């Protein structure tokens, strides 16, 4: 029992560190929430569900490994592959969102028309073409699909440190130990995620981009793209 409590404490510590040093755990949510003006409650729910999927997918993999009699090293190789897939998904999502954001910003650019009447009178008319090209149901569809894309990426995202922690009590046939270790790691991960996201979102709510506001989606895509590159090539 003493070993289990040591593992629980270790799981909480590693879960916290694992989240803080991984920008992919919070940057996408902060960027998307700012660009789409999500309510904090929605941001927290989406973040928590993605974090839960992130942890449980590795737990399921761990149980499969135990059932098949695989060594920790084999499972870590699988987790590494999943990590590569998740990183490239994040990079791809960020790039697509960046391009879409630039296209949206271009359409939202106001421009001026001069109208001349037969009597010589002239007036100026300023408008953008965004409303003429984007329909409400198209915007709503993009709004609804974004959380699912994030969830999919997070399910692919591995929790490499969790595998060896879970394998020990699983090998001892201690289901209570597996549950305690998983819960400790998951709770630390999700609480750290939503705390960072909440504080950052609150701080960004005071930031006004002015004329750059129409580039908010493009900026969000760029930030997500860079965070994906950092995960893939810097090992964050």
Across 46-62, average pLDDT? 89
pLDDT at 128 over 60: no
CB count in 10 Å sphere of residue 137: 8
pLDDT above 70 covers a percentage of the chain that reads 82
Residue 127: pLDDT above 50? no
Among 50-54, 70-74, 104-108, 209-213, the least confident range:
70-74
Closest CA to 163 of 171, 153, 174, 155: 171
pLDDT score, position 229: 94
51 φ, ψ (degrees, to nearest 5): -65, -40
* Phi–psi pair at 116, nearest 5 degrees: -115, 135
Q: How confident is the model at residue 118, as a pLDDT?
A: 55
106: which 2 tokens? Answer: 């271009």
Distance CA 148, CA 53 (A): 11
Tell whether the model's pLDDT for residue 143 goes beyond 90. no
pLDDT per residue over 26-43, tens digit each? 999 999 999 998 999 999
Average pLDDT over residues 150-172: 83
Measure Cα distances from 217 to 46, 143, 174 in Å: 18, 12, 47
How many residues belong to the chain? 236
pLDDT at 54 over 80: yes
- d(CA 113, CA 49) in angstroms, rounded, equals 48
Residue 196, pLDDT > 70, answer yes
φ/ψ of residue 222, rounded to 5: -65, -40
CA–CA separation, 116 vs 139, rounded Å?
36
């Amino acid at each position: 029992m003493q070993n289990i409590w040591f593992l629980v404490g270790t799981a909480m510590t590693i879960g916290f560190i694992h989240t803080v040093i991984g920008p992919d755990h919070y940057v996408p949510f902060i960027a998307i929430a700012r660009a789409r003006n999500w309510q904090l409650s929605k941001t927290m729910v989406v973040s928590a569900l993605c974090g839960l999927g992130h942890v449980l997918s590795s737990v399921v993999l761990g149980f499969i490994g135990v059932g098949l009699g695989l060594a920790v090293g084999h499972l870590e190789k699988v987790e590494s592959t999943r990590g590569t897939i998740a990183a490239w998904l994040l990079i791809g999502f960020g790039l697509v969102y960046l391009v879409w954001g630039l296209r949206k910003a271009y359409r939202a650019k106001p421009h001026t028309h001069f109208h001349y009447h037969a009597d010589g009178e002239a007036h100026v008319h300023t408008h953008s073409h965004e409303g003429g090209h984007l329909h409400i149901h198209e915007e709503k569809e993009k709004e609804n699909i974004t959380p699912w894309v994030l969830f999919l990426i997070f399910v692919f995202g591995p929790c490499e440190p969790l595998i060896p922690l879970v394998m020990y009590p699983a090998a001892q046939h201690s289901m209570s130990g597996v549950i305690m270790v998983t819960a400790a790691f998951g709770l630390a991960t999700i609480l750290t995620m939503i705390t960072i996201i909440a504080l950052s979102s609150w701080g960004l709510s005071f930031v006004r981009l002015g004329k750059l506001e129409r580039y908010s989606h493009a900026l969000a895509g760029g930030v997500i793209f860079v965070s994906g590159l950092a995960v893939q090539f810097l090992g964050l």
